[in-house]
Amino acid sequence: MADHGVAVAVPVAGLQPRTSMTADPATLGRVVTQELSRRWSSEPGLLGAMCRHALTPAGKLMRPILLLESALAVGGDYSQVMPAAIGAECGHVASLVHDDIIDNDDLRRGRPSVQRQFGVGNAIIAGDALIFDLFAGLAECRHTGVPDSRITQALEIVARCGTDLCRGQSMEEELSRTPSFDLRPYLLMIRLKTAALFIGACASGAVLAGGDTHHVEALATYAERIGTAFQIKDDLLAYTGCTHTMGKSETSDARNGRVTLPIILAHQSGTATLRATIERTLFGPEDPAVRRAALAEILDRAGALDACAEMARDHIRQARAALEVLPASASRDRLSSFGDPVIARDR
Amino acid sequence: MADHGVAVAVPVAGLQPRTSMTADPATLGRVVTQELSRRWSSEPGLLGAMCRHALTPAGKLMRPILLLESALAVGGDYSQVMPAAIGAECGHVASLVHDDIIDNDDLRRGRPSVQRQFGVGNAIIAGDALIFDLFAGLAECRHTGVPDSRITQALEIVARCGTDLCRGQSMEEELSRTPSFDLRPYLLMIRLKTAALFIGACASGAVLAGGDTHHVEALATYAERIGTAFQIKDDLLAYTGCTHTMGKSETSDARNGRVTLPIILAHQSGTATLRATIERTLFGPEDPAVRRAALAEILDRAGALDACAEMARDHIRQARAALEVLPASASRDRLSSFGDPVIARDR
């Protein structure tokens, strides 16, 4: 650990600037995975063990990839913004670690959640460390050739998106305490809870790479739509997926009585009888697995699962449209197909 | 709440640059208090309520004052670095909010802790939001005339100090699980857990104000010593203070079986019989208040409370010595007397 008497004089060990390799998706994914494995590898003790457990093996790496592709899409060099991309994944994983405490979820990415493995108190600390690491990653861009003015602009964006994430999590807690079957608060909540970090990734990637304001705004809009679409898909999977494909408990939403989009759509379109059935089932005393199965059938019959899938697809279409102001590039194309898993009609 | 479609174009509402008023301590304290009250005042819902509860009425404001005085001590303008000072308090309060969950403490600053008032899940979110606000404060210095290069340097310092804070909290958890009566791990732990944010405040204040490297390093050393001294004093108060003067439960350390400095000093200097008595009392099944009272008597008789107070005073002397390289100024004098409450022989 650092000697704090000379804390200021010693630069953070960071990534060194290097010549960019071909920025194909496989390379980006490989480099991100390597850097994530390296990131907490030399940290001793419990904190290192927890952060490694949370970060590796890696998840889908959507946020770092989006950050890198956004940088490339505005003509930037991906290796310069790599530390920020790693930071974006740290920030996201921090939110998962803390969410799993809040939702009392024991399974994450197919293995015990941090709170399950190390206890609640320690998981709080691990999540905090990963939030600080988000900003440490941003600061490391000082050493990869990113001008200071871009870093401070990205700092402002990322800090606000982080605060928005907390607003969304807090709103989710409020909504679970005083359930609402209105669409508006739900959409605002997921925009804050999920889309905010997508916006942070895309906008900061573009800003760090020197993108002009129009392109940064287009990528922020893209991110907002695609983040919303992924959250809707997630809400859908809670009723159509299984623990194996999700890597987390499929009964979490039912267990926590979460009023998610398929529930709202069925509730809004249904008769008074259907609405009563939905409420009784969602908030009932039965085992979460029983409630989930019953809800899945109700939602399917009501056409809410199809409507939900269509709403996700519509957001993906809007995301793609937002990209049109960007110059044509391989990265723009890849950003455009980023939402393909949502479009796929497997619900 | 922000419209995320235009998230990038809208600047964060921040403090406006203004002419500095006389930087006497009363003014600094008043401005910090005002800005803290303002900070989350327009935030709706649960998150706003929690952050206001955590931040106000304000505590001793040591970290923001240290940040401002450090900026002044290197010849800077305090109003330029004010947002970072507010951020420093937010970061500190975040750590208190999360610590109170970890220690299951119900009382903080004389009122219910956030976890007690709003529940564990919500308190996690509030703490996270306050960590993000630490960085939002730093970013706001873009709008008060601080050059970008100083902000990114401060960002690097603050992110590392935040990670150190987590290292210290995690180490504290490890030490409470596998108690050690060695001085070294204890001193490293409090340097990380408490001194890190003092270092972050002083070093970032000096950097943001354009201080040269020698002065920044001197202030970092000062902060490390004074932070350590305050933690030692805190550990002492756990056995000599009362709930009323501390504003928090005086039985927390006994309840959580924390091996703090007075315990270590008594243990090291004592006979085998005394060591066994200390261990039996600290980890015994009795009510925390009973154990605390018994320990206080044991520690006092062993001379450990006096030795502990002397060690805190020694750190204050070292802190003062570190300031000598700075040019003479009212701020340097005030930094020098900052440790007076620790020096005072009230234990």
Q: What string of H, E and C letters represents the secondary structure of chain B?
A: CCCHHHCCCCCCCCCCCCCCCCCCHHHHHHHHHHHHHHHCCCCCHHHHHHHHHHHCCCCCCHHHHHHHHHHHHCCCCHHHHHHHHHHHHHHHHHHHHHHHHHCCCCEECCEECHHHHHCHHHHHHHHHHHHHHHHHHHHHHHHCCCCHHHHHHHHHHHHHHHHHHHHHHHHHHHHHHCCCCCHHHHHHHHHHHHHHHHHHHHHHHHHHCCCCHHHHHHHHHHHHHHHHHHHHHHHHHHHHCCHHHHCCCCCHHHHCCCCCHHHHHHHHHCCHHHHHHHHHHHCCCCCHHHHHHHHHHHHHHCCHHHHHHHHHHHHHHHHHHHHHHCCCCHHHHHHHHCCHHHHCCCC
- Residue B307's domain comprises 27-343
The arithmetic mean of pLDDT across residues A43-69, rounded, is 96
User: pLDDT at position A248, please?
Assistant: 74
The arithmetic mean of pLDDT across residues A126-152, rounded, is 98
User: pLDDT at position B345, please?
Assistant: 57
Contact yes or no for B166 and A195 at CB 8 A: no
In a domain, B152, yes or no: yes
pLDDT of A331 strictly over 70: yes
User: pLDDT at position B24, please?
Assistant: 85
User: pLDDT at position A346, please?
Assistant: 56
**pLDDT category of residue A242 using cuts at 50, 70 and 90:** confident
User: pLDDT at position A243, please?
Assistant: 67
Give me the number of domains chain A comprises: 1
pLDDT in tens, A170-208: 999 999 888 899 999 999 999 999 999 999 999 999 999
Give dist(CA A205, CA A166) in Å, integer.
Answer: 21
pLDDT of A320 strictly over 70: yes
User: pLDDT at position B7, please?
Assistant: 39
More confident residue, A17 or B98: B98
Q: Which residues of B touch A8 (CB under 8 A)?
A: 157, 203, 207, 213, 216-217, 220
pLDDT in tens, B183-211: 999 999 999 999 999 999 999 999 999 99
ipTM of the complex: 0.92
pLDDT in tens, B204-214: 999 999 999 99
Which of A98, A156, A224 is facing B12, going by the closest CB pair? A156
In a domain, B209, yes or no: yes
In a domain, B16, yes or no: no
In a domain, B1, yes or no: no
**pLDDT category of residue A6 using cuts at 50, 70 and 90:** very low
In a domain, A121, yes or no: yes
The arithmetic mean of pLDDT across residues A202-223, rounded, is 98
Contact yes or no for B46 and A160 at CB 8 A: no
In a domain, B149, yes or no: yes
Q: How far is CA A191 from CA A165, A213, A335, B126, in A?
A: 9, 22, 19, 19
Contact yes or no for B170 and A46 at CB 8 A: yes
Q: String of b and e for B129-158 (b: at least 16 CB within 10 Å)?
A: bbbbbbbbbbbbbbbbebebbbbbbbbbbb
The arithmetic mean of pLDDT across residues A18-23, rounded, is 52
DSSP state letter for A112: E
Contact yes or no for A166 and B46 at CB 8 A: no
**pLDDT category of residue A157 using cuts at 50, 70 and 90:** very high
Give dist(CA A139, CA A122) in Å, integer.
Answer: 26
Which of A45, A128, A158 is facing B131, going by the closest CB pair? A128
User: pLDDT at position A14, please?
Assistant: 43
**pLDDT category of residue A15 using cuts at 50, 70 and 90:** very low
Q: What is the CATH number of the domain that holds A37?
A: 1.10.600.10
In a domain, A43, yes or no: yes
Residues in chain B predicted with pLDDT less than 70, given as ranges, are: 1-22, 243-244, 345-347
User: Are B136 and A160 a contacting pair, CB within 8 Å?
Assistant: yes
Give dist(CA A240, CA A237) in Å, integer.
Answer: 5
User: pLDDT at position A20, please?
Assistant: 46
Q: Which residue of A has its CA nearest to B120?
A: A102
In a domain, A198, yes or no: yes
Contact yes or no for A8 and B164 at CB 8 A: no
In which residue are the tokens 């974006």 written?
A88
Q: Which residues of A touch B115 (CB under 8 A)?
A: none
User: pLDDT at position A53, please?
Assistant: 97
Mean pLDDT of chain A: 90
pLDDT in tens, B92-115: 999 999 999 999 999 998 899 999
Which of A27-41, A295-309, B241-255 shows the lowest per-residue confidence on average (mean pLDDT)? B241-255
Q: How big is chain B, counted in residues?
A: 347
User: pLDDT at position A345, please?
Assistant: 57
pLDDT of A3 strictly over 90: no
User: Are A251 and A342 a contacting pair, CB within 8 Å?
Assistant: no
pLDDT of A68 strictly over 90: yes
Neighbours of B21 (CB within 10 A): 12
User: pLDDT at position A22, please?
Assistant: 60
Which of A125, A138, A213 is facing B9, going by the closest CB pair? A213
pLDDT in tens, A243-298: 666 777 778 888 888 899 999 999 999 899 999 999 999 998 889 999 999 999 99
pLDDT of A2 strictly over 80: no
Q: Which residue of B has its CA nearest to A170?
A: B47
User: pLDDT at position B252, please?
Assistant: 80
Which of A120, A158, A217 is facing B6, going by the closest CB pair? A217
